[in-house]
Amino acid sequence: MTHPIIGWEQKTAVPNNHQFNDYLQVKNGRLHLHNLDLAELMLSGAYPSPLELIYLPLIRQRISKMRAIFADVMDEIGYQGAFLYAYASKANVAEEVVRTTLEMGVHHEMSSTVDIDIARLFKRRGVLADDKYVICNGFKPDGSVYADNIVRLREEHEKVLPIIEDLTEITPFARAEHTFEVGLRQKSYGDNATTLAEMDACNSRFGLNSDGLWQAAKTIADAPNLTLTLYHAMVGSQIMDDDVFMDRIAPGIEFYGRLCQQHPTLHIFDFGGGMPVPMTLNFDFDYRAFVRRLLTKIQAVCAHYDIPEPDVMGEFGRYTVTEHGAHFFKIVTAKDNGSPLPWYLIDGSIMTSFPDSWALSEHFIVLPLNHLDKPFRQVQLGGITCDSDDVYPPKPSNSPLFLPVDVDDLYIGFFAIGAYQEMLGGVGGSKHCVLPEANELVIDDNPSGDGYTFQTLPGQTHTDVLRNLGYHRA
């Protein structure tokens, strides 16, 4: 198997106009994100290093792209249901990110009680539209703050849709004064289950086995204020092989067919999150081919069970926000130290900025912002912390990292880090080796259609870090 390609892999300069992927391109030795000269942001001195980049147009683009794929395939195969795009907000809950997704008119998926407060804020600001579902995943036993908060949100928003993961979760909604559409989550995540029996037996804390699903559906049908609307069948994360993806999801589609025959109020098949995304440069997953296989399979099952073709929902977390996030660092020094490869030390931390790289050996794209028209050499990156794990490529990795030999005013960017990394590393607080958080630069298309808007969100000062650790107390 080929290794993840994380950047330029040659000693020669990158040719002018080289396109790394559909948003990163080289022009005159500098890296551009769409039309934005990334080197200029740093070299002009307008923004301090390190800098976190939040580029909102890519979020809109990704949503539009997936909608176009579904529309195209539905048209091609004559699919009767609708496509419902939901943003899985756990991937990145920053205000500007969630606002951007809601402004695109997507449905909103969440996992815990503070998420409800966020939905309420957007509802009151008129950003969460009345007809958008708020899909409440996550554990919500009777009496939990989350369950109570979901019930209260229903007073303001009709389309609140709790997903039942456990039989005990039905009670707070059945007892509520309002009506609720509800969903059921199938137990299947984790193991490579490709039959109903394997799904039922898999080692997963999520969802209900088939007996539980039938029982829950009956309890919901017996509750006068509840309507069974959605069936959720998330089977894993980043499954790059669409044969494997289809094998795992097929038993859930079959089960949907049987359940819908008995409970015809069901009309949404939700395949959950887990859609693979390009975090490196050799990503090879054909979204259209997958969507075609998924919808064709659903059509066949519906024909077999003589039920209507459902609306199909995807809960796109990583897919929505991976690419809009980047993080820039300056190379503060190149140090040979008698190591097999020279160390390029950056003015920030890899392990705290991208925890998945450290904890899961996840790869991200790393490219220089300038000096792309000069010779490269293979290097290793070191963070500014004193932690031996603060390195990149991650341990272990077969992916070579090449960067320019000339380190004079050299800036580099980590790309495709917009999903989960900031949420896992935490926002605010104090970080490893007391490194302050970087400033953030939020870039969006100018509403006039000409150029961009720039908004800086300040990072942490030394005083912020000290206060956070209690040093303001006498």
Instruction: Give the binding site for ligand PLP (CB under 6 A).
Output: 88, 90-91, 109, 137, 234, 237, 272-275, 315-319
Q: Please report the DSSP string for 245-273 in residue order.
A: HHHHHHHHHHHHHHHHHH-TT--EEE--S
Contact 346, 331 (CB under 8 A): yes
CB of 370 to ligand PLP, least distance (A): 32
Residues 6 or more apart whose Cβ sits within 8 Å of residue 323: 23, 58, 62, 277, 278, 415, 416, 418
The two tokens of residue 97 are 């990110």
Closer to ligand PLP by Cβ: residue 51 or 66: 66
Query: Which amino acid is located at 287 in the chain?
Result: Y
Neighbour-count burial of 459, counting CB atoms closer than 10 A to its CB (0-12 exposed, 13-18 middle, 19+ buried): middle
In the complex, minimum distance from the CB of residue 321 to ligand PLP, in angstroms, rounded to a whole number: 8
d(CA 82, CA 309): 9
Q: Cβ 320 to ligand PLP, closest distance in Å?
A: 8
Distance in Å, CB of 143 to ligand PLP, minimum: 22
Q: In terms of CB distance, is 315 or 440 closer to ligand PLP?
A: 315
Nearer to ligand PLP, 273 or 383 (CB): 273
Least CB distance to ligand PLP at residue 247 (A): 18
Residue closer to ligand PLP by CB (options 81, 273) is 273
Q: How far apart are CA 59 and CA 471, in angstroms?
A: 39
d(CA 263, CA 229): 9
| Tokens standing for residue 328 | 């820039």
- Select the residue whose beta carbon is closest to ligand PLP and give its number: 273
Please identify, using beta-carbon distances, which residue of 315 and 437 lies nearer to ligand PLP: 315
Q: Please count the CA atoms within 13 angstroms of the CA of 317 that sit on its side-chain side.
A: 22
Burial class (CB in 10 A: 0-12, 13-18, 19+), 321: buried
Q: For residue 31, which of 453, 412, 364 has the smallest C-alpha distance?
A: 412
Name the minimum Å distance from CB 351 to ligand PLP: 21
Quote the least distance from Cβ 185 to ligand PLP, whole Å: 7
CA distance 310 to 461: 52
CB nearer ligand PLP, residue 90 or residue 187 = 90
**Rounded distance, CA 303 to CA 80, Å?**
12
Closest distance of CB 448 from ligand PLP, Å: 33
In which residue are the tokens 């137990």 written? 187
Residue 268's alpha-carbon distances to 136, 216, 236, 299, in angstroms, are 15, 17, 19, 13
What DSSP element (H or E) covers 453?
strand 452-457
State in angstroms the smallest separation of the CB of 72 from ligand PLP: 21
Nearer to ligand PLP, 273 or 368 (CB): 273
Judged by CB, which is closer to ligand PLP: 274, or 436?
274
- Residue closer to ligand PLP by CB (options 49, 100) is 100
Phi-psi bin for 236: left (phi > 0), alpha (psi -120 to 50), beta?
A: left
For ligand PLP, the closer CB: 234 or 372 = 234
Shortest distance, position 288 Cβ to ligand PLP, whole Å: 18
Cα–Cα distance measured from residue 327 to residue 379, given in angstroms and rounded to the nearest whole number: 19
What kind and span of H or E run contains 404? strand 401-404
Structure tokens at 420: 């989960």
